[in-house]
Structure 1
Amino acid sequence: MPLNIFTAVVFNGTDSIPHFDLILYRILPIVATIGFLKWMFRGKKNIWERNLHGKVFILTGATSSNGMGASVAYDLAMKGAQLIILSSKMDQFTIDFIHDLRRKTENELIYSEFCDFADLSSVRKFATNWIDNISPRRLDGIVLMHGEMQPIMGKKRYERHYTKDGLEMQIGVNCIGTFHLLNLLKPCIKAQPPDRDVRIIYSTCIWQAMGDVWPEDPCMSEVSFVSHKFFASSKLQMSLLLAELHRQLVVNDEKEIKAAEEGDKLARANISTTIVQPGIMRSGTLRRVISNGSVWALLVVYIGILYPFLWLFIKSGYNGAQSILYSLYTPEFERINLESMDGKFTLGIPGCNYVLNCNIQPKFYKKEFYDIKLQSVLYNNMCKQIEHVEKKTAAMKNQTKKEQEEENKKEQNVDKDTNNENTDIDTETKKNSMNKKKDSKSKSKTSKNKNKKLNKW
């Protein structure tokens, strides 16, 4: 077909093609403009490659269908990495997702573990099972891509949802549970050999620019609730906690920090921590923001009205994953390259970076990232509040367990009493029946005796 059109244009001219002027001067410019806008807004693409055979990565938020997490998991699996995908629901969808990923990538080293970030005991259980080995388990990276966002418009933005520990859902999932996992895995990260390139990747959001920090109350239990305010603060506080956690992973004291700023080499410069801003994507979070949690708004507004514009101007999950893949593959975060930077680091310590659109940013755009005292206070108070919450929930679980045991005992006692009453009733009925039988026998005997006497007479 294209050859016939070409020959017709060459030998017979453009007049032989119907509607040629319409196609050339109207349709083609529109198609070219749409293609250019789509190419321009898709974002930069990762160009680095890395051999991941034998490497182990922990992923969160990777079970979203056709989303950023699924794209990252697919790319890592294609390169031969062993994946431990954390999921809050071990349902049939998760099982099918793991099987499909194994089949598509021909990689059998893909596993799923239960870890609910809305339940601190679940996070602790996974982390302790991971650490509880005679020899430390290999760990080459942790990629944190999960998130929770509540509706932000109308009355729904004032409706507070809670985790299993009684915390606000957004701050609990986005910040507290995530930090709890990394803090528990800190000994395992430190135990990795110095020649192993360990990378921690955290996917933040553009909303963190509007967030506030509550160092004295990092769980925000005494803050008046507004949905978007809590979401933005959860992302910002988690990024600050990650910076302080990286500082504790890489350096030991202030002397070592000053030495790093002067260009000295560190013993644990193999650990890099990257805060990634993937950009605005057509993700579940965006659908929740536009629809405000309403199915009708999702069908009418998101799909019916806005989707053509979102498809054109907003990134897909695959394009949003490129910055995370760049942070995982780029050789700029390897130890030898970090040591050659001569102390020129974003936060004064090697390996803590901020990536936007597949580019390492020269600085963070919030002043809180450069306040080390603020980060230290936030870190310590968060550890204290998590410990308090865990003790409180453990005491509540023990109390409910005791109450259930007492109720079970009462039920067993009631059952025993009813059984005893039934047995007593049965024994009485048996006795009565026996007595009746005896009486009937005695009556029959007396009647026989009377009959005998009468017969004699």
Structure 2
Amino acid sequence: MPLNIFTAVVFNGTDSIPHFDLMVYRIIPILSSIIFIKWLLKGKKNIWERNMHGKVFILTGATSTNGMGASVAYDLALRGAQLIILSSKMDEFTNDFIMDLREKTENELIYSEYCDLSDLSSVRKFATAWIDNITPRRLDGIVLMHGEMQPIMGKKRYEKHTSKDGVELQMSINCVGTFHLLNLLKPCIKSQPPDRDVRIVYSTCIWQALGNVFPEDPCMSQEKFISHKFYSASKLQMSLLLVELHRQLVVGDEKEVKGAEKGDKLTKANISTTIVQPGIMRSGTLRRLISNGTVWALLVLYAGILYPFLWLFIKNGHGGAQSILYSLYTPEFEKINIESMEGKFTLGIPGCNYVINCNIQPKFYKKEFYDVALQSVLYNNMCKQIEHVEKVTAAKKNSEKKPTSETKDEPKNDENLDESATKAVNNNKGKKKKQSGKSKNQKSKW
């Protein structure tokens, strides 16, 4: 077909092609403009490659269909990495996703583990099971790509959804459960040999620029619920906690520093921590934001009206995954290159980076990232609140178990006992008195 059009233009002229003027002066410029805008806004692509055979990664948020997490998991599996994908639902969808990923990448070292980040006991079970292995498990990286966002408009804005532990759901998944997982895995991360390149990658959101920090009450248990307030605060506080966690992994906490001053060796693993800003993309968070959690708005507003504009101006999940892949593959975060870049770190901490559009940013745009005292207070109070929440939840579970066992053995109300039951009780009491009298007489004889 293109050859016939070309020969017709050469031998017969442009007049032989119907609507040639319309195609040249209108359709082609419009298509060229669309292609150029799409190319310009798709974002920078990761150009680094890395051999991942034998490396072990823990992933969260990797089961999102056609999303950023699925793209990262596919790329890592294609390069031969062993993946431990954490999921809050071990259902048929998760099983099919794992099997499909194995078939596409021809990599059998892909596993799914149950870990509900909204349930602190579930997080603790996974982390302790990982650490308590007889042989220490290898760990080359943790990639955190999950997120939870509640509707921010209308009546649903004021409907507070809580986790199993009573913490607001966005704060629980985006911050509390994520920090709990990393904090419990801290001994495993520090125990990795110095020649192993361990990378922690956390995907944040542009909403963190609007967030506030609550160092005295990190879980925001005393704050009035406003959806976007909790979401933005959860993202900002998690980024700050990650900075403090990295400081403790690289430099050491107060006890380790004091021990090093006395002559003990301070173990330093080769760890890099990266906070990634993937940018605006067609993700579940954007769908929830536009549709406000309603099906009709999702079908009419998002899919029907806005989708052509979203397709043109906003990148997909694969485009958002490029910055995360860059953070995992780039040699700039290796130990040799980190030491050669001394004095050029974003926060003055070796290996703590901020990546946007596959580029290392020279600085963070929030002053809280440079407040070490604030981060330390936030870290300590978060640990205390998590410990308190776990104790309260455990006490509730125990109190729920006790009444069920007591009701089986004992009657609920003594007033409802019938006459026969009361007679039986009195007879038993009389028998006990007689037996006690006999035992006293026997003792007196002896």
Asked if Structure 1 and Structure 2 have the same fold, meaning a TM-score greater than 0.5 normalized by the shorter chain, the answer is yes
Please, which runs of 5 or more residues in structure 1 have no aligned partner? Answer: 258-265, 422-457
SS at match of 1:321: helix
Deviation at 1:269, TM superposition (A): 5.7
1:389 lines up with 2:385 in the alignment: no
Partner residue, 1:455: none
Q: Match of 2:367?
A: 367
> What SS is found at the alignment partner of 1:276?
strand
2:377 aligns with: 377
Report deviation, 1:253. Answer: 6.1
Structure 1 residues 402 and 335: CA distance shift in structure 2, 3 A:
same
SS of equivalent to 2:94: helix
User: 1:411 Cα deviation (Å)?
Assistant: 8.9
Deviations 1:45-99 (A, max 9, x none): 1000000000000000000100000000000000000000000000111000001
Write out aligned runs for 1:349-428 (5 A): 349-409=349-409
Matched, 1:34 2:4: no
TM alignment of 1:319-358, pairs within 5 A: 319-358=319-358
Helix, strand or coil: the match of 1:201?
strand
The alpha-carbon deviation at position 409 of structure 1 amounts to: 3.6
- 1:292 to partner: Cα distance: 0.6
CA distance in 2, matches of 1:238, 1:394: 25
> How far is 1:407 from its partner?
3.2
C-alpha separation in 2, matches of 1:267 and 1:195: 12
Q: Which residue does the alignment assign to 2:74?
A: 74
The Cα offsets for residues 300-323 of structure 1, whole Å up to 9 and x where unpaired, read as 111111111011111100100000
Structure-2 separation of matches of 1:290 and 1:404: 46
Instruction: Specify the code of the residue in structure 1 equivalent to 2:311.
Output: W
Q: Deviations over 1:85-133 (max 9, x none)?
A: 0000001110000010001111000000000011000000000000002
Partners of 2:210 and 2:31 in 1: how far apart? Answer: 37
What does residue 271 of structure 2 align with? 271
* 8 Å Cα contact 2:192/2:269 also seen in 1: no
Tell me, yes or no, if the aligned pair for 2:190 and 2:269 is still in contact at 8 Å.
no
- 1:16 and 2:13 equivalent? no
Tell me whether 66-75 or 16-25 shows the greater mean CA deviation.
16-25
Q: Which amino acid aligns with 1:217?
A: D
The Cα of 1:134 is off from its aligned counterpart by 2.5
The residue aligned with 2:188 is 188
- Counterpart-to-counterpart distance in 1, 2:73 and 2:149: 22
Which segments of 5 or more consecutive residues in structure 2 lack a partner in the other structure? Answer: 258-265, 422-446
Return 115-124 or 6-15, whichever deviates more.
Answer: 6-15
The percentage of aligned residue pairs carrying the same residue is 81
Matched, 1:227 2:223: no
1:105 paired residue number: 105
- Which residue of the partner structure matches residue 449 of structure 1? none
Name the aligned partner's letter for residue 221 of structure 1: S
> Shift of residue 268 of structure 1?
2.6
Aligned residue for 1:149, secondary structure, equals coil
Q: 1:9 to 1:216 in 2, by over 3 A?
A: same
Quote the Cα distance in structure 2 between the aligned partners of 1:253 and 1:105: 41
Aligned counterpart, 1:44: 44
Query: How far off is 1:344 after superposition?
Result: 1.7
2-side partners of 1:53 and 1:293: how far apart?
A: 41
Work out whether residues 191 and 269 of structure 2, in 8 Å CA contact, stay in contact via their aligned partners in 1: no
Q: Does the 8 Å CA contact 1:269/1:350 hold for their aligned counterparts?
A: no
Alignment check: 8 A CA contact 1:45 1:322 kept? yes
Deviation of the 1:267 alpha carbon? 5.8
- Counterpart CA distance in 2 for 1:268 and 1:338 is 14
Could you say what secondary structure the match of 1:46 adopts? Answer: coil
Q: Which residue of 1 aligns with 2:90?
A: 90
Deviations 1:397-439 (A, max 9, x none): 1111112222344599xxxx9xx99xxxxxxxxxxxxxxxxxx
Change (3 A) 1:332 1:269: farther
Q: TM-score, normalised by structure 2?
A: 0.89
1:380 Cα deviation from its structure 2 partner: 0.3
Equivalence map 1:198-217=2 (5 Å): 198-217=198-217
- Matched pairs, number: 408
Q: How far 1:20 moved relative to its partner?
A: 1.0
Provide the rounded CA distance (Å) in 2 between the counterparts of 1:242 and 1:378. Answer: 11
- What SS class does the counterpart of residue 52 from structure 1 fall into? coil
Give the alignment's TM-score, normalised by structure 1.
0.87
CA-to-aligned-CA distance 1:359-386 (integer Å, 9 cap, x gap)? 0000000000000000000000000000
Question: 8 Å contact 2:214–2:220 — kept in the other structure?
Answer: yes
